[in-house]
Structure 1
Amino acid sequence: MKDLLKELEKYDTPSITNAIATYPQKHDTCLGQYHPWNGHWYTNQTLKCMFPNLGPKAGVVVTVVYGMPDPLYERLTFKDLLLALDKIKDPIVLAVKQNFPPKIKKRNGLLGGNMLTAFKSMGVVGVLSDGPSRDVDEIRALNVQYMLTGVTAGHGPFAIEAINVPVNICGMHVMPKDIIHMDENGAVKFSSEMVTSILDNVKRITEAEKKRQNMIKKTTDALMIAEILKGVYD
């Protein structure tokens, strides 16, 4: 799987979405795995990429839910999260659900340099969260993609509520051991069984788009451009 994930990183996330479900009528290049609008298979505009220059990252999903400390439930610790990461032998994308009251969630710099350094050591190549975090300057050098709703400077007490449960991150429903592909455009999820088919599709899509765009660059004739793009948008 590691080699296949590296191969996926050669392509941007919009191209991956095209190969999965964006154009279900195109049976030769789209798997039609989800309903394009209603499938909850990619993130919405609230998720922001902190390091666009890093390019695409792809990995196996581990999920974690953080919330306010609860003296009636103190079963999980940071060690448990590290052990969950240690079980995955492929590159990992950590999906962090922030289950905080809205007022606190908006100002919660949950993750930071210490956590991300530990995650990097455990094989994490990307982190996405449906809330803000901090220490962007420290994390930049780790080469870990970092996708958040924003940044804040501080936080108060917090605790782990769950590890490896289904979560919703900015409109995308994620299960443990899904695959996530992420870049400055957002993130998309899919099952590991789809990887080879996605790669086949995205290669065909990329080759066709390069050919089409090269043809467009060579003309300023509106009718010719319309003919080149015939069937793409209509």
Structure 2
Amino acid sequence: MNPVQTISSEELELLKVTDTPTICNVIELFDVRPRNTGYMDDRIQACFPEMSPMVGYATTATLSTDNPPREGETYAGMEAQLAQLDSIPEPRVVVFQDLDVPSAAATFGEVMCMTYQTFGCVGLITSGAGRDLDQVREINFPTFTSGTNPSHGYHQIADVNIPVHVGGVTVYPGDLIHGDCNGVTTIPNHIAGSVARLCAEYMEAEGYVLDFLKTGKRDLKGLHAARAACAEKFAELRKRALDSL
């Protein structure tokens, strides 16, 4: 696996205080991918919409819960997964592709989430289901799933740190992930630092229109002027984004 391209702790902090839709908007300024790609579809939902944004580098895995293991015990693959975590820098987001369609049982519960949290992970995403949600909420560990399931079934982690397909997106080990109540997106690592630094100005530009609307004035000329000022700022940000490539 190639070394993961990282960003500074200051840039990570900027991403942590920014909502995911704004992240998606700012990524568009760079023209590095089509606008309808890179984010997970509505099959993947936040279990705890009230939590702050989650940001981290993907440590990926596949799993199945539908078939009894040929040898060993259920959850036996977790220690092998933990042994490979250090190949991905912190903070980490665990990203699971459930190989069972539909999922047969839960990808995670309280013990798994607390284990991942202890080993430097800040959240978990699965194409499958989750359980123990009240307990996971208590430890403030963001999770994103396609649903819930009360049982762990025959939980077996198959492969670790390989490309996985979740919510219509292929996630590679080390990809930078951002998620909140609105959903989950990847951030191309090579522009992530620049994305972080432009977010506040992007929101300020949107503020030109929002501040006008908050006046309650039904003034089309005023709205047009506010939108024009916003568009002018967006154009400036877009130029700076493209110049940074």
- Asked whether the equivalents of residues 216 and 228 of structure 1 are also in contact (C-alpha less than 8 Å), the reply is no
Q: Secondary structure at the match of 2:148?
A: coil
Q: Secondary structure at the match of 1:196?
A: helix
Q: Report the residue type matching 1:188 in the other structure.
A: T
Partner of 1:155: 152
Equivalent positions of 1:9-28 (< 5 A) are 9-21=16-28
Instruction: For 2:172 and 2:156, locate their aligned partners in 1 and report how far apart those are by CA, in whole Å.
Output: 21
Q: Choose from 224, 228, 231 the match for 2:226.
A: 228
Q: Secondary structure at the match of 1:188?
A: strand
Stretch moving more, 132-141 or 216-225: 216-225
Q: CA RMSD in A?
A: 2.2
Partner of 1:88: 88
Q: Secondary structure at the match of 2:12?
A: helix
Q: Secondary structure at the match of 1:54?
A: coil
Q: Choose from 113, 117, 137 the match for 1:116.
A: 113
Instruction: For 2:215 and 2:32, locate their aligned partners in 1 and report how far apart those are by CA, in whole Å.
Output: 36
Instruction: For 2:17 and 2:69, locate their aligned partners in 1 and report how far apart those are by CA, in whole Å.
Output: 43
* Alignment TM-score, normalising by the size of structure 1: 0.85
The structure 1 segments of at least 4 consecutive aligned residues displaced by more than 6 Å after TM superposition are: none
Partner of 1:5: 12
Q: Report the residue type matching 1:139 in the other structure.
A: V
Report whether the alignment pairs 1:195 with 2:195.
Answer: no
Partner of 2:43: 46
- Asked whether the equivalents of residues 2 and 91 of structure 1 are also in contact (C-alpha less than 8 Å), the reply is no
* 1:226 CA drift (Å): 4.4
Instruction: For 1:82 and 1:227, locate their aligned partners in 2 and report how far apart those are by CA, in whole Å.
Output: 55
Question: For the structure 1 residues 187 and 126, does the alpha-carbon distance in structure 2 shift closer, same or farther, using more than 3 Å as the test?
Answer: same
Question: For the structure 1 residues 198 and 131, does the alpha-carbon distance in structure 2 shift closer, same or farther, using more than 3 Å as the test?
Answer: same
Question: For the structure 1 residues 211 and 101, does the alpha-carbon distance in structure 2 shift closer, same or farther, using more than 3 Å as the test?
Answer: closer
Partner of 1:133: 130
Instruction: For 1:158 and 1:49, locate their aligned partners in 2 and report how far apart those are by CA, in whole Å.
Output: 22
Instruction: For 1:134 and 1:43, locate their aligned partners in 2 and report how far apart those are by CA, in whole Å.
Output: 21
Q: Secondary structure at the match of 2:34?
A: coil
* 1:79 CA drift (Å): 0.8
- Give % identity: 26
Partner of 1:207: 204
Q: Report the residue type matching 2:172 in the other structure.
A: M
Partner of 1:99: 99
* 1:94 CA drift (Å): 0.8
Instruction: For 1:148 and 1:129, locate their aligned partners in 2 and report how far apart those are by CA, in whole Å.
Output: 5
Structure 1: give runs of 5+ residues left out of the alignment: 22-29
Stretch moving more, 42-51 or 222-231: 222-231
Question: For the structure 1 residues 149 and 101, does the alpha-carbon distance in structure 2 shift closer, same or farther, using more than 3 Å as the test?
Answer: closer
Structure 2: give runs of 5+ residues left out of the alignment: 1-7, 232-245
Q: Secondary structure at the match of 1:212?
A: helix
Instruction: For 2:169 and 2:194, locate their aligned partners in 1 and report how far apart those are by CA, in whole Å.
Output: 21
